[in-house]
Amino acid sequence: MTARRRNCDVVIVGGGPVGGLLACLLARGGLDVALAERGAADSGYGDARGYALAAGTVRLLDDVGYWQPLAPEAEPILAVHVSREGGFGSVVMDAASQGVSALGQVVPAARIGAMLAEALAATGVERLDQTRLETLEAAGDGRREVVLAGPDGRHRLAARLVVAADGTGSATRAAAGIEVRRRRYAADALVFDVRSTRPHGGRAFERFTPEGPLALLPQPGGRLNVVWVAPPETCDERIALSDSERIAALQARFGWRLGRLRTAGPAARFPLELVRARRMYDQRLVLAGNAAHGLHPVAGQGLNLSLRDVAILAGRVLSARDPGAPEVLAAYAQARSGDIDRVAAVTDLLARGLPVGERFAPRALRRGMLLLDRIGPLRQLWAEQAMGLQPLPRRILRGLPAESREGGTAPTATERRGEGI
């Protein structure tokens, strides 16, 4: 079919939380943005997961006006209880001791998807659903061309900046020739909801077991979202169990601190791997979110880390004359390197280096918990990292207009800077 051609400022490939939020922020800042997603517009609304949003992520969403629509369906995390199966030693971090109302919030993934769909419509972002990347042309004349194939034919979009936000298997990253370091963990995650006979009281639980970490995250209505990591063969067995048999196995691992557990939804399974891009950018192309770094879910840092990518990238792009200039992309990569390296190292250590079944691990894990529990500055550092309170360009993001570009009230990039692009 005949290709459609057009120029724009930014093309974002990948319409999940990372690509969707970035598209909204850049469009509100006056840029012409197109968002390409391989699924249908509402394909993420059936996602059974609950996203644990750290306090810093909640603050970011509140700064840009997107927390209020999520708040009614959010469950605050008032405390985090970390323990290990088969031994003493635990760490409890609570919101009151940190001087905050909540350490974070758990929000259904489907609700985040629906909120971003509404925001994208309000900001005038062009959505190209059910499209896939066909080719990525070399950069030239200040632009890079993306060819997308969809149900209505091909779209040729020449953009000053292309953003790869299409996940750990990013086709955009591969087309740009950016290699990755990949480690497939000997584990998968089962995700499902349960109810407990005792109220969860806003407590989140992370329990280290001989087969991997087990997390229970509080959700509205008394439910908890379970993320249960185990070797693939164990997941094979558990996914084949009846609901009652699976809950009995979970109860044996988790214990009875919340009373009897009962199933509250179907189980989904996710393979686990560590993915790190060898570089964060190419000519007029940049990586964000899982296209740059896919992490093990232990400690629940993946989405929070990715949304910090969004905040930093949006701040750099909206402050620049040319959104795809090499110095802009290099500055973004440098600004993100420390945070990404730190979180990737910690989650990889917890995933590989401290499984309770290893001979050295019970003693190391117990000592680590005792240090966190007894040394105030170390405990405070752990709390700040867990809450995601890293510096972000709040002044720029809080200053974005709420109105859509189509309504004619948002300033263009030129108007914001008072100079030519």
Nearest to 349 by CA among 306, 397, 408, 301: 301
Q: What is the rounded distance in angstroms from the CA atom of residue 205 to the CA atom of residue 80?
A: 6
Nearest to 360 by CA among 307, 105, 368: 368
CATH code: domain 4-74+107-182+278-357+375-417 is 3.50.50.60
DSSP 8-class letter at 137? P
DSSP 8-class letter at 140? B
* Cβ contact 252:280 at 8 Å: no
In this predicted structure, what is the pLDDT of residue 86? 61
In the chain, where are the structural domains located? 4-74+107-182+278-357+375-417
**Weakest-pLDDT range from 92-96, 143-147, 274-278, 372-376:** 372-376
Q: Convert the pLDDT of each residue in 276-298 to its tens digit.
A: 999 999 999 999 999 999 988 87
Q: Convert the pLDDT of each residue in 347-390 to its tens digit.
A: 887 776 444 344 434 444 444 444 434 444 434 444 555 556 66
The mean predicted confidence, pLDDT, of the chain is 85
Q: Convert the pLDDT of each residue in 236-279 to its tens digit.
A: 999 999 999 999 999 999 999 999 999 998 999 989 999 999 99
| Contacts with 29 (C-beta within 8 Å, 6 or more apart), sequence order | 314, 317, 318, 400, 410, 413, 416
| Contacts with 128 (C-beta within 8 Å, 6 or more apart), sequence order | 34, 35, 36, 37, 148, 150, 155
